[in-house]
A = this chain, B = another copy of it.
Amino acid sequence: MRDHLSLTQLAQELGAELRLAPGVEPARKINGLSTLQDANTEHLTFLANPNYRRFLKATSAGAVLVTKEFVDECPVSTLCVDNPYLAFARASALFNTAPKAEAGIHPAAVVHPEAEIGPGVSVAAGAVVEAFAKIGPRAVVGANCFVGEGSTLGEGSCLHAGAIVHHGCRIGSDCIIHSQVVVGADGFGFAPHKGEWIKIYQLGGVEIGDQVEIGANTCVDRGALGDTVIGRGVKIDNLVQIAHNVRIGDYSAIAACTGIAGSAIIGKHCALGGSSRIAGHVTIADGCQVTANTFVTKSIENSGNYSGGLPFSDSQSWRRNAVRFSQLDKMARKLKSLEKQLEEFSCRNGKDE
């Protein structure tokens, strides 16, 4: 993170073509990002969604990331790029204000002597790293985190405060695991026996690819036999449940509050909307978009968009319609019977004529 960058430096960093507004120096400093509406002269902003075009003309930003077609209507300096949203994402890294973890093991951390700690690693206060765990170069283990026996955290990956990785799990490099995440807790497996539940010990682990991000309070259970697998570049939001032996293909994204039941297989490049539910043992093809609040009850064989969330209404209308839902089968049968009656009439009437 840097305090500020000149317009020239920004253009260079983002591969953008700089066009200065009248009277602006190329050395003009930019010290942060903001929206078109809120930006002041020290901010960089962007126009990605044409719906916000109306805010462009009134912006007070120091500079705006735009595509070629909007350069002329921008009242301030522009940084012209092919993909302003992508350039904005890259700019966000330049102005990231998150404190950087200091390398070294805090005296209040507890690292087992047989753990393997790479160069430049940071282990914060209260973190516990068990025997045979391997923490890769420049990785960060936040405050009060736990890394279980024999687990690995790849190069440059970060466990935020309170994240937990149980024994025998492998996390790739450049991953971000947010606070209170639990990787490798037992999957939910029991054999029924005389009205009781006999625990099936969960003997598998968890394998997480490189460049994965997992949101706060999300759970990724260990496999029963074999591993739960999360592919490269997968992004998972907060409060998501990933059950044992789920497999998620590379570069899929899963929004908050989603639950994926045991042994489900999600393809590559899928997007699951918030609060979606995926039934156990189903397979979802590569490239599927599942909208929010959808309950995927069976396998999806073709890429495409899938939905299942009912829209709401005022409570009175809702109640009226919801009651009818419980009569739906009767309605359908009545409809068929009326259709038949009408056909008969029609026949008879036809004869009559």
Instruction: List the interface of chain A (C-beta within 8 A of B).
Output: 32-35, 38, 83, 85-86, 88-90, 92-93, 95-99, 106, 108, 110, 124-126, 128, 130-131, 142-144, 146, 148-149, 160-162, 164, 166-168, 176, 178-180, 182, 185-186, 188-191, 193, 195-203, 211, 213, 215-217, 219, 221, 224-226, 233, 235, 237-239, 241, 243, 251, 253, 255-257, 259, 261, 269, 274-275, 277, 279, 289-298, 304-329, 331-332, 334-335, 338-339, 341-342, 345-346, 348-349
Q: Is the CB of A243 within 8 A of B256?
A: yes
Cα separation A329 to B314 with both chains bound (whole Å):
14
CB–CB B130/A99 < 8 A: yes
CB contact under 8 A between A179 and B182, given known A188-B238, A319-B307, A328-B325: yes
Please name 30 pairs of A and B residues whose Cβ atoms are closer than 8 Å in the assembled complex, sorted by A: A86-B198, A92-B199, A92-B224, A95-B203, A96-B203, A97-B203, A144-B146, A160-B166, A160-B185, A182-B216, A188-B215, A188-B237, A199-B213, A219-B238, A219-B239, A238-B241, A275-B295, A279-B292, A292-B295, A295-B312, A304-B314, A306-B318, A307-B312, A307-B318, A310-B322, A311-B326, A324-B328, A325-B325, A325-B328, A341-B346
Residue of B nearest to A287 (CB): B195
**Which chain B residues border A305 with CB–CB below 8 Å?**
314-316
Chain B residues closer than 8 Å to A259, beta-carbon distance = 239, 256-257, 274-275
User: By the criterion CB–CB under 8 Å, are A180 and B182 in contact?
Assistant: yes
A251 and B197 form a contact (CB under 8 A): yes
* A75→B157 CA distance, assembly (Å): 46
Q: CB distance A219 to B219 under 8 Å?
A: no
A33 touching B332, Cβ below 8 Å? no
Q: Contact check, B327 vs A334: say whether CB atoms are below 8 A apart.
A: no
Given A146-B144, A178-B185, the answer on whether A190 and B257 have CB atoms closer than 8 Å is: no
Give complex CA distance A193, B32 in Å: 23
Collect the chain B residues with CB atoms within 8 Å of residue A88's CB. Answer: 191, 200
| A315 engages B306 (CB within 8 Å) | yes
- The residue that A110 contacts in the complex, of B90, B125, B221, with Cβ under 8 A, is B125
Given the complex of chains A and B, what is the CA–CA distance between A160 and B184 in angstroms? 11
**In the complex, what residues of B have CB within 8 A of residue A92's CB?**
199-203, 224
Q: Is the CB of B148 within 8 A of A99?
A: yes
Q: Which 7 A-B pairs have the closest CB atoms?
A: A308-B312, A89-B191, A307-B318, A92-B201, A305-B315, A182-B216, A185-B216
Q: Is the CB of B295 within 8 A of A311?
A: yes
Bound form: Cα–Cα A306–B326 in Å: 13
Q: What's the least CB distance linking A288 to chain B, in Å?
A: 10
Chain B residue numbers with a CB within 8 Å of A164 are 161-162, 179-180
Q: How far is the CA of A117 from the CA of B146 in the complex (A)?
A: 23
Q: How far is the CB of A146 from chain B (nearest CB, A)?
A: 4
Q: Are A198 and B144 in contact (CB under 8 A)?
A: no
Q: Are A331 and B329 in contact (CB under 8 A)?
A: no
Does A332 lie within 8 Å of B326, measured CB to CB?
no
6 further A-B pairs in the complex, CB-CB below 8 A; given A162-B182, A295-B309, A324-B332: A99-B130, A125-B128, A186-B213, A188-B255, A197-B253, A317-B329
Contact in complex: B144, A126 (CB < 8 Å): yes
